[in-house]
Amino acid sequence: MSDRTSASTGLKLPERLRRTLAAAAAEAPQARLMGTRARGSMRPPRAHVVVAAGEGQIESARGPARIVRRLELYRTSFGPVVRLAFSIYHDATEVLSAATVIDVLRVSGDAALSGLGRQRELPFHFYAAREGDLEYAFSKVIPNDDERRAEAKEVLGMAREHLSATPEERRSFRRALALASRNFELPVPEPGVEG
């Protein structure tokens, strides 16, 4: 996938992903962590977060807002599940929360998580779900400081280690996700606020 973005179009999302996110966003906000690079580039992929939700929810995240995120690792008997959860606090009443799971068994999942361990910024691209498709709204770029990069590298290392310790015939991301999802929570509380 190309890393090209513009102020009016955002990331060039594959058609199947657009339709899947648009359909799911009709029920609840959705997110995907994607690793992208420029065509023909030798540079490693760069991680981007794609956020899809109803138009009103997307608009609530526009302008000054605080993005609080948490990277989680779940170890199951079927392999690891890594989850990036986030909440966007616009004001005391407006909170947009979503999460994406990362399958480190897949090259794309491993690459996206690796990007979180390298890059100094993390772009969020917001899309409004409308009539079965996504319409690009805006993007925000948040810092990915030394502590966050170290955390991503540590989580990736632990996930790879757990995956290698899981017998190949037992590995199933679908089953691992079913077990891990019992512990998923949103919203991600703001630091210093009891959740």
pLDDT tens-digit readout, 166-193: 999 999 999 999 999 999 999 999 876 5
Give the pLDDT score at 195. 44
Long-range contacts of 148-151, Cβ-Cβ distance < 8 Å, separation of 24 or more = 148/71, 148/116, 149/116, 149/117, 149/118, 149/119, 149/120, 150/117, 151/71
Q: pLDDT tens digits for 56-101? A: 899 888 888 899 999 999 999 999 999 999 999 987 677 899 999 9
Query: Nearest 5 degrees, angle CA 40-CA 43-CA 47?
Result: 105
The contacts of residue 89 (CB under 8 Å, 6+ apart) are 65, 66, 67, 68, 95, 190
190 sits in which H/E element: none
Query: Mean of the pLDDT values across residues 149-153?
Result: 96
Give the pLDDT score at 91. 73
Q: Is the pLDDT of residue 127 over 70?
A: yes
Name the average pLDDT for the chain.
Answer: 89
Percent of the chain past pLDDT 90, that is, above it, reads: 68
- Coil vs helix vs strand at 176: helix
- Coil vs helix vs strand at 77: coil
Q: pLDDT tens digits for 16-59? A: 999 999 999 989 999 999 888 766 667 778 899 999 999 989 98
Q: pLDDT tens digits for 96-109? A: 999 999 999 888 88
Q: Is the pLDDT of residue 135 over 70?
A: yes
H-helix segments, 26-106: 55-60
The phi and psi torsions of 20 (rounded to 5 degrees) equal: -65, -45
Q: Is the pLDDT of residue 5 over 60?
A: no
